[in-house]
Structure 1
């Protein structure tokens, strides 16, 4: 847990951890009844509240959004990937694939393109130089702006990049799953961060890339300072109170850079510090209503939810020792302490078990492993949650079992 011992926690606003989990659950749309998802703009609202849905595996992203919708379906999520009012699939926090609201793409690209760049993981002789990276990003932008509406596959985009820059861009230097990738692909994430590309519609089993300007006429990244301030505010609204280090971990940025950013935003009155049972975190300056209520007025957090792996709530919430209390850390965190590797049972805002779904056609077996016995009320809530997942996935026969989950990570 990050604790700032220089802060006087005897004065100023206070929250209890119970209040923290209550507000986080509510702001993620994980408590109470949500309006049914149908219109792309409603799906975008859900994803905006999450600060993006991790979409390396689309089925998990769909379940994340479904957990926050009232009676929505996978078809609603997929429909939102078309048009200016829905979602864009692109590289987001930590350089991983995310679904983001199309309307927020100027903010995201303005903020992500302002992140400091490090040396990268590639050996010096294999990585792109700064000059080469600029050439590749420019070539990507030109190729996609000139492409048809269905975009270019990675192979087609590679041909265009090599033709515009030179053979060096096509050198096979990046270790991949079943071979080597060309040098230019190191610039895919930077190109997305600068607004030069996003994912287009799949072409069979192949992904495509398109120019965001084809989806959003007039699109351009927002100014860096404006975008970074807005992103910090949204992150803290969804995951606060939080520290600069926690923000840096979520975003995939250097911790000293994040500390400087928080200092600047605190100094100009955009952020405020708050005590949570002896530890200090930050909230947006205007986000003080719930913080000032006091622990005695906290609403109980009673929601029980089943969240897929890499759900935004699990990845973004800190501190880990409170999100994964007691045996939950050993059962649901990776060996390195990474969150999100397992689908989790969430009770009262914290991890209370794991689960696994095995599907065959329109039938499915759902196994839930609670880490403590469930009360009758919570068992009824679990039955309701299982039924919700079945409806979302259009499963006609879902069998729920309380027992040990034997599947490993990402299964």
Structure 2
């Protein structure tokens, strides 16, 4: 909790606080915008939901796109190029079978990336339906429906050419950020940032979080770790031996704290991890999950007692 900013060391107000949280955590899970926003709230004391939107849409100090594991993440803008430089090619390779099932050979994918970028540069943000029509008119897909549309948008994103813009639209990165991304990154730097935000952790945890081969991840972790711990026979590594945190925190859906490791979330009860790729809002205390809660009415289902007064008040403040 301490490493992952859940002891709330980030006190900056406004969009600057949002960027600071995202930078310190190495990126936040963003399958849903609500989940990303509440992840920021859990790690700061002076930001609001509107600040998160402002940081992404107006200030553009954070970027929403496909990064670690090829899933949607909110990352600091300066980290987007290095992350894709390290991870993009492998994530594309890992998706080759699915591209084949969808009838999307590399020739079609590369043409689609060109077409999508050119359209977004000329017309600004576009939603899925609009971009689907663009791909159909270019003769790259037969119909404006199906999973091929999203797969081609994501492919352009993994090349660093497309990212999310306002709401559920996409934009050309070079236009949105004012310049193209430089796809160059250093693996040891990424390993150090991971341990700073998630340590103590194993090399396999880092491999799972990033989407890297385990041997490559292990070499990087070994090179940067300055602390090691034996926990139930497993070697865990860190860059700092931090004090514990006894706080209670209400995490949003798909929170990075639960997804930042190889398999820790898999032992959670069905109220938090129902399966099917879902991860519901959770209540944690002293690092352990002690219950679930619901966004709609802030109702809770606790496995053990906890005082949620301060967290419930802060959720109301954040949403105001």
Q: What is the aligned partner in structure 2 of residue 157 from structure 1?
A: 131
Q: What is the aligned partner in structure 2 of residue 398 from structure 1?
A: none
Q: What is the aligned partner in structure 2 of residue 314 from structure 1?
A: 258
Q: What is the aligned partner in structure 1 of residue 281 from structure 2?
A: 343
Deviations 1:37-94 (A, max 9, x none): 31x2321110122222222222222111111111321111111113455222222333
Specify whether residues 91 and 262 from structure 1 end up closer, same or farther in structure 2 by C-alpha distance, changes over 3 A only: closer
Specify whether residues 183 and 355 from structure 1 end up closer, same or farther in structure 2 by C-alpha distance, changes over 3 A only: closer
The match for 2:177 among 200, 216, 226 is 216
Cα offset for 1:197? 0.4
Q: What is the aligned partner in structure 2 of residue 334 from structure 1?
A: 274
Matched pairs, number? 318
Instruction: Note the 1:116-265 alignment, pairs <5 A.
Output: 117-118=93-94, 120=96, 122=98, 124=100, 126-145=102-121, 147-148=122-123, 150-164=124-138, 167=139, 169-172=140-143, 180-181=145-146, 183-202=148-167, 207-223=168-184, 226-251=185-210, 253=211, 258-265=213-220
The answer on whether the counterparts of 2:62 and 2:75 sit within 8 Å (CA) in structure 1 is: yes
For structure 1, list consecutive stretches of 5 or more residues without a partner in the other structure: 1-24, 174-179, 291-297, 359-364, 395-411
The match for 1:94 among 69, 82, 86 is 69
Q: What is the aligned partner in structure 2 of residue 280 from structure 1?
A: 235
The answer on whether the counterparts of 2:8 and 2:43 sit within 8 Å (CA) in structure 1 is: no
Measure the CA separation in 1 of the matches of 2:63 and 2:221.
31
Instruction: Select the structure that is richer in helix.
Output: 2
The answer on whether the counterparts of 1:170 and 1:182 sit within 8 Å (CA) in structure 2 is: no
Cα offset for 1:218? 3.1
The answer on whether the counterparts of 1:303 and 1:348 sit within 8 Å (CA) in structure 2 is: yes
Asked if 1:45 corresponds to 2:20, the answer is yes
Instruction: Select the structure that is richer in strand.
Output: 1
Measure the CA separation in 2 of the matches of 1:122 and 1:332.
29
TM-score, with normalisation over the residues of structure 1?
0.68
Deviations 1:112-149 (A, max 9, x none): 3232513545484633112222222233233333x24x
For structure 2, list consecutive stretches of 5 or more residues without a partner in the other structure: none
Structure 1 runs of 4+ off > 6 angstroms?
A: none
TM-score, with normalisation over the residues of structure 2?
0.86
Q: What is the aligned partner in structure 2 of residue 383 from structure 1?
A: 309
Specify whether residues 213 and 333 from structure 1 end up closer, same or farther in structure 2 by C-alpha distance, changes over 3 A only: same
